[in-house]
Amino acid sequence: MEKNIFEPSDQEEKSVTKIVHAVYLLQALSFFVPCILMIIAVIINYLKRSDAIGTWLESHFIWQIRTFWYGILWIIVGSLLAIFTAFIAGPFSIGVLFVTALGAIVWLLYRIIKGWLRLNDGKPISVKNRFSAAQTNGIFHN
């Protein structure tokens, strides 16, 4: 059986696994130090995701990057909704902002916990479509 060129050695896999653990930790700590740790985490993801192409760890990189960008989307939508309702309902906009922020926090916690537990079990995480780091680097594989 031929070795897959994307298959890492045990040492490479351990190294990439440590990076994925570190990113989940940074994402979790971002609840205490907002913004900067989440930004650092996504930068690490973008810099190191090519190391995981074709491995089970690639799904974790995709999951973490999507967690960041969808989290930003939650913030933007919630803020715009609060601004819009401020013009219509005044003080009600604080409630809208609170509910949106609470939803974003619960969703982020879910994403971090689910991903970290799957990583701890040595399993990939399900990502809904075929978008991967390999495709963005011009390398297409099945």
What lies within 8 Å, CB to CB, of 25 at 6+ separation is none
Sequence-distant (6+) residues with CB within 8 A of 135 are none
Say what the pTM is: 0.79
Residue type, 12: E
Token pair recorded at residue 79: 């803020």
Q: Which of 14, 66, 20, 10 is nearest to 44 (CA)?
A: 20
Could you give the number of structural domains in the chain? 1
**74-113 pLDDT, tens digit each:** 889 888 888 888 888 777 778 888 888 899 999 999 999 9
> Considering the domain boundaries, does residue 137 fall inside one?
no
5 within domain boundaries: no
Cβ-based neighbours of 122, under 8 Å, separated by 6 or more: 56
The domain in which residue 86 lies consists of: 10-127
CA gyration radius for the chain? 18
Mean pLDDT value across residues 48-68: 95
DSSP state, residue 49: G
In a domain, 139, yes or no: no
User: Which pLDDT belongs to residue 8?
Assistant: 54
